[in-house]
């Protein structure tokens, strides 16, 4: 299943078009929406996803793509890392395939925490991470701080039961 771009994708895309620069990694690329936005700013874009279907799909669009569980198959450092992760807390009865694109773990932030832990080794000193998540994800500022990142909130969007938040993260 490939994630059909939604409000979170579009909110993040807006800031990718403004801020992506240099060597870019689009983690969890899905339909490739963020990689395509980054390609309007730079030629050096790599897309990654754990789902082979998404990797095959974006390759067909002519985007360089790698199958990878977070950074397991990613080499080198980047100036901009983009991620619209699965960020919701586990919901009862949700099937495995849908979980892979929406669920970040029992609390919601677990995958993001693992991502931030691994991202440090792949970010250039002046590099940034562009991230979207929800008010349901947990205290991302605290999670990021613990991993040595500062968080600058760029925009929040009110939805029915949650707020969607786009932030820029940079090393302390």
Ligand X SMILES: C[S@@+](CC[C@H](N)C(=O)[O-])C[C@H]1O[C@@H](n2cnc3c(N)ncnc32)[C@H](O)[C@@H]1O
Question: Under rule CB under 6 A, which residues in 93-122 are in contact with ligand X?
Answer: 100-101
Which of 14, 17, 44, 50 lies at the binding interface for ligand X (CB under 6 A)? 50
Which of 25, 55, 86, 110 lies at the binding interface for ligand X (CB under 6 A)? 86
Question: Under rule CB under 6 A, which residues in 13-42 are in contact with ligand X?
Answer: 27-31, 33-34
Tokens of 38: 């980054």
Nearest CB to ligand X, comparing residues 12 and 140: 12
5 binds ligand X (CB under 6 A): yes
> Do 89 and 119 touch, CB atoms closer than 8 A?
no
84 binds ligand X (CB under 6 A): yes
Distance CA 122, CA 25 (A): 10
CB atoms within 10 A of CB 72: 11
80 binds ligand X (CB under 6 A): no
Conformation bin of residue 108: beta by default, left when phi > 0, alpha when psi is -120 to 50: left
Helix (H), strand (E), coil (C) string for 94-115:
CCHHHHHHHEEECCCCHHHHHH
Which of 51, 134, 137, 167 lies at the binding interface for ligand X (CB under 6 A)? 51
Which residues have C-beta within 8 Å of that of residue 138, sequence separation ≥ 6? 107, 108, 109
Which of 7, 56, 64, 69 lies at the binding interface for ligand X (CB under 6 A)? 69
Instruction: Tell me how far, at minimum, the Cβ of 142 lies from ligand X, in Å.
Output: 22
Distance CA 39, CA 63 (A): 9
70 binds ligand X (CB under 6 A): yes
Size of the site for ligand X (CB under 6 A): 24
Nearest alpha-carbon partner for 114 in 27, 15, 38: 27
Interface residue list for ligand X (CB under 6 A): 3, 5, 9, 12, 27-31, 33-34, 48-51, 54, 68-70, 84-86, 100-101
């Amino acid at each position: 299943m490939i994630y059909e771009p939604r409000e979170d994708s579009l909110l993040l895309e807006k800031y990718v078009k403004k801020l992506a620069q240099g060597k870019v990694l689009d983690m969890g690329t899905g339909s490739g929406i963020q990689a395509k936005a980054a390609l309007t700013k730079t030629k050096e874009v790599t897309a990654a996803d754990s789902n082979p279907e998404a990797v095959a799909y974006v390759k067909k669009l002519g985007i360089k793509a790698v199958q990878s569980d977070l950074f397991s198959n990613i080499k080198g450092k980047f100036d901009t890392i983009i991620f619209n992760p699965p960020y919701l807390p586990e919901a009862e009865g949700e099937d495995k395939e849908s979980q892979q694109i929406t669920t970040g773990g029992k609390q919601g932030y677990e995958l993001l925490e693992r991502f931030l832990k691994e991202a440090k080794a792949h970010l250039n000193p002046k590099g940034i991470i562009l991230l979207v998540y929800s008010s349901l994800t947990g205290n991302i500022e605290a999670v990021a701080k613990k991993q040595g990142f500062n968080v600058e909130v760029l925009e929040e969007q009110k939805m029915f039961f949650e707020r969607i938040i786009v932030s820029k993260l940079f090393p302390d």
